[in-house]
């Protein structure tokens, strides 16, 4: 009889613990894991020889990022017709 | 250099679709795929009609990159968002995620099967040997590797569509709006475009451009 009483008590304690556990708050914000690019590597545009293509007026030194950026910046500023008209 | 961006001036766009045609021609884009298109609101209403040219905006925090289950997207040092077509499974998640409807899917079979995703590359090609036939076949022209800007912007007859380094093109746009004479009339103009050196941009008094 005492054993059954203990069993019932243990069961009640377990149920109370499980019930109270439901009252707790869990973190509900999903933490997204940023994916990593799985494809092939790509070359940078300044690694190309400027003479490799036809009909281009841009000039830069092969492999020199700064000179490529300067060439592209010149081209970029050509879009401003206010300065072109001056 | 900051980041490569497009900027379309709705005051100047005349809906000529020159940018769309230039893109199609430069990249030999297949039938049914539109990397760039012109969107018009209030079509036909005199004085209220506005057009804007839309393509991939090469977002700094691109939603397509975030949702792609096979991680085919990458961002170049110049801030151009590109993808590897060899790995693309054509699921279309990027199309749902993109707020601009940039990802396009060519019809690969007779029953409407989706092909591999195709989108604007900022004329920067893709992960193949630069200026090679393979690169052109998969991704189109690589104009950045030739020291050129995207064909759509360079072809734009009214220069409504600007492309290039974000700092440079926003400077061009800033100057343009000031010349128009409604610089500070625009809500939030100073906040968005005021330079640290000259925070209070004054509108010009001359005639509108």
ipTM for the whole complex = 0.81
CA of B60 vs chain A CAs: smallest distance (Å): 14
Closest-CA residue of A relative to B159 is: A79
Task: Show residues of chain A in contact with B77, CB under 8 Å.
Answer: 44
Question: Any CB–CB contact under 8 A between B155 and chain A?
Answer: no
Give residue-wise pLDDT tens across range A22-66: 777 778 887 777 789 999 999 999 999 887 777 778 889 999 999
Instruction: Report, as an integer, the average pLDDT of B182-186.
Output: 56
- Lowest-confidence segment of A10-14, A80-84, B199-203 by average pLDDT: B199-203
Specify the pTM: 0.79
Instruction: Report, as an integer, the average pLDDT of B2-24.
Output: 93
Cα–Cα distance, B91 to B72 (Å, whole number): 12
pLDDT of residue A22: 77
Flag whether pLDDT at B198 surpasses 70.
no
Does the distance separating the beta carbons of A56 and B130 come in below 8 Å?
A: no
Instruction: Report, as an integer, the average pLDDT of B135-151.
Output: 95
Instruction: Report, as an integer, the average pLDDT of B44-55.
Output: 91
Flag whether pLDDT at B187 surpasses 60.
no
Domains present along chain B, CATH in parentheses: 4-155 (3.30.70.20)
């Amino acid at each position: 009889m005492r054993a059954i009483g203990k069993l019932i008590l243990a069961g009640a304690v377990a149920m109370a613990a499980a019930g109270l556990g439901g009252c707790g708050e869990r973190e509900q914000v999903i933490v997204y894991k940023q994916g990593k690019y799985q494809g092939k590597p790509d070359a940078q545009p300044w690694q190309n020889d400027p003479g490799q293509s036809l009909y281009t007026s841009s000039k830069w030194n092969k492999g020199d990022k700064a000179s490529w950026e300067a060439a592209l910046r010149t081209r970029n500023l050509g879009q401003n017709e206010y300065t072109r008209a001056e | 250099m900051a980041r490569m961006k497009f900027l379309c001036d709705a005051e100047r766009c005349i809906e000529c679709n020159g940018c769309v045609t230039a893109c199609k021609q430069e990249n030999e884009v297949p039938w049914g795929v539109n990397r760039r298109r012109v969107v018009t609101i209030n079509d036909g209403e005199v004085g209220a009609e506005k057009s804007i040219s839309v393509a991939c905006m090469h977002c700094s925090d691109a939603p397509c990159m975030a949702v792609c289950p096979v991680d085919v997207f990458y961002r170049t040092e110049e801030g151009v968002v590109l993808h590897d077509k060899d790995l693309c499974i054509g699921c279309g998640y990027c199309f749902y995620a993109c707020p601009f409807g940039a990802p396009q899917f060519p019809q690969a079979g007779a029953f409407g099967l989706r092909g591999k995703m195709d989108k604007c590359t900022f004329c920067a090609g893709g992960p193949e040997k630069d200026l090679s036939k393979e690169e052109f076949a998969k991704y189109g022209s690589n104009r950045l590797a030739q020291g050129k800007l995207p064909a759509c912007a360079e072809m734009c007859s009214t220069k409504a569509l600007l492309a290039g380094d974000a700092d440079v093109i926003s400077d061009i746009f800033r100057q343009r709006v000031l010349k128009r004479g409604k610089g500070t009339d625009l809500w939030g103009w100073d906040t968005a475009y005021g330079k640290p050196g000259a925070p209070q941009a004054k509108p010009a008094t001359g005639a509108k451009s």
